């Protein structure tokens, strides 16, 4: 196997991949989310029954994943706009990506308690 | 293999027909240039407006969606408080109705255009592209119509 023939990408390529993957995931969630909300036009009982599943520990974990996808897509989207419109954007795209990743980690740490707190209490008591 | 010198392309030090303002080099058509044979349907600025829309809607969606996440998942007990009564309370205000309507339209169009780009990138056969984009367009139109209908016709006293 000759060395150095596999392109492993850099910050620019992997942020592009992550932006695409999170975007597709969010789109499919949005489709389901509009359908579940449409149940308010069927009956309060049916809506509450389906929303009840959103409060279980496993789905709470999925919600944490959804928040992760949305926050990355939002922050990296702002970085893309900066690369396009700010004259110094392309020069600082790597620094901006690491800023995005840093902010994302901080926000995800902050989201642990609000999003996963109830699940932890259900699973392990208060 | 022998080379016929008279057919060889001279790149430097040419004594035969050096290009000049009076003897210009032949024009090479850029691969994506619009010519008379370009179909009319591709002679619009659709892709430019699509690109611009992704940035404009993106900025607005950052505010709308992060606000939505804070309200639904973080503030006031997180997702545990969400139920029919909570939705009825929020949609009694035109402000939140408009918020959710704007979020629905912008997010579906932003996501739909994003998926259109993904289909164009990965579906290599023209037929596959047409079918996937037809399916995508149908799903987006259906979801926007259904969501708008639900917001506009919501009845808190349905029972």
Per-residue pLDDT tens digits for A29-65: 999 999 999 999 998 999 999 999 988 999 999 999 9
- Which of chain A's residues have a Cβ under 8 Å away from the Cβ of B66? 70-71, 74
DSSP for B52-95, written as a single string: HHHHHHHHHHHHHHHHHHIIIIISTTGGGG-SHHHHHHHTTSHH
Is residue A82 within 8 Å of A34, Cβ to Cβ? no
Query: Would you state the CATH architecture of domain B44-153?
Result: Up-down Bundle (1.20)
Q: Could you tell me the two tokens for A32?
A: 């389901």
> Minimal Cα–Cα distance from A7 to chain B, Å?
19
* A54–B78 C-beta distance less than 8 A: no
Residue A51: its H or E element? helix A44-53
Q: Least CB-CB distance to B55: which of A23, A84, A118?
A: A84
* pLDDT value for B1: 46
Q: Please provide the DSSP assignment of chain A as one string.
A: --TT-S----HHHHHHHHHHHHHHHHHHHHHHHHHHHGGGGT-HHHHHHHHHHTTSHHHHHHHHHHHHHHHHHHHHHHHHHHHHHSTTTTTTHHHHHHHHHHHHHHHHHHHHHHHHHHHHHHHH--
Nearest CB to A74: which of B62, B85, B111?
B62
Is the minimum CB–CB distance between A40 and chain B shorter than 8 Å? yes
Domain ranges of chain B: 44-153
Asked if the Cβ–Cβ distance from A30 to B82 is below 8 Å, we say no
Check CB contact under 8 Å for B79 and A55: yes
Asked if A47 lies within 8 A of B82 by C-beta distance, the reply is no
pLDDT, tens digit, 9 for 90 and up, residues A68-106? 999 999 999 999 999 999 999 899 999 999 999 999 999
Listed range (A111-120, B55-64, B106-115) with the worst mean pLDDT:
A111-120
Please tell me if residue A46 touches chain B, with a CB cutoff of 8 Å: no
Q: Give the residue carrying structure tokens 């596959």.
A: B128
How many angstroms separate the Cα of A57 from the Cα of each of A60, A63, A98?
5, 10, 31
Domain definitions of chain A by residue range? 12-124
Phi, psi torsion values for A125, nearest 5 degrees:
70, 175
Domain A12-124 has CATH 1.20.1300.10: yes
Residue with tokens 């918020």: B99
Q: Estimate to the nearest angstrom the gap between the alpha carbon of A98 and the chain centroid.
A: 16
Q: How confident is the model at residue A126 (pLDDT cuts 50, 70, 90)?
A: low
């Amino acid at each position: 196997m000759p060395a150095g023939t596999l392109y492993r990408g850099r910050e620019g390529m992997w942020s592009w991949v992550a932006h695409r993957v999170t975007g597709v995931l969010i789109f499919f969630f949005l489709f389901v989310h509009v359908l579940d909300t449409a149940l308010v036009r069927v009956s309060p009982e049916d809506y509450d029954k389906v929303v009840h599943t959103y409060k279980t520990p496993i789905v709470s974990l999925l919600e944490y994943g959804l928040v992760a996808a949305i926050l990355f897509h939002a922050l990296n989207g702002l970085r893309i706009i900066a690369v396009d419109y700010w004259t110094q954007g392309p020069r600082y795209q790597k620094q901006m990506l690491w800023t995005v990743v840093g902010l994302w980690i901080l926000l995800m740490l902050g989201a642990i308690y609000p999003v996963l707190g109830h699940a932890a209490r259900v699973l392990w008591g208060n | 293999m022998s080379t016929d010198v008279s057919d060889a392309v001279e790149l430097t030090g040419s004594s035969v027909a050096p290009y000049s303002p009076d003897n210009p080099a032949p024009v090479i058509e850029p691969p994506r240039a619009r010519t008379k044979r370009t179909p009319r349907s591709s002679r619009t600025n659709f892709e430019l407006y699509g690109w611009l829309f992704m940035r404009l809607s993106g900025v607005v969606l950052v505010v709308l969606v992060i606000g939505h996440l804070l309200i639904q998942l973080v503030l006031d007990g997180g997702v545990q408080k969400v139920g029919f009564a909570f939705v009825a309370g929020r949609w009694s205000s035109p402000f939140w109705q408009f918020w959710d309507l704007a979020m629905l339209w912008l997010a579906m169009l932003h996501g739909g255009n994003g998926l259109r780009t993904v289909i164009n990138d990965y579906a290599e056969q023209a037929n596959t592209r047409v079918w996937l984009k037809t399916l995508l367009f149908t799903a987006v139109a259906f979801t926007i119509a259904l969501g708008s209908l639900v917001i506009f016709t919501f009845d808190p006293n349905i029972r």
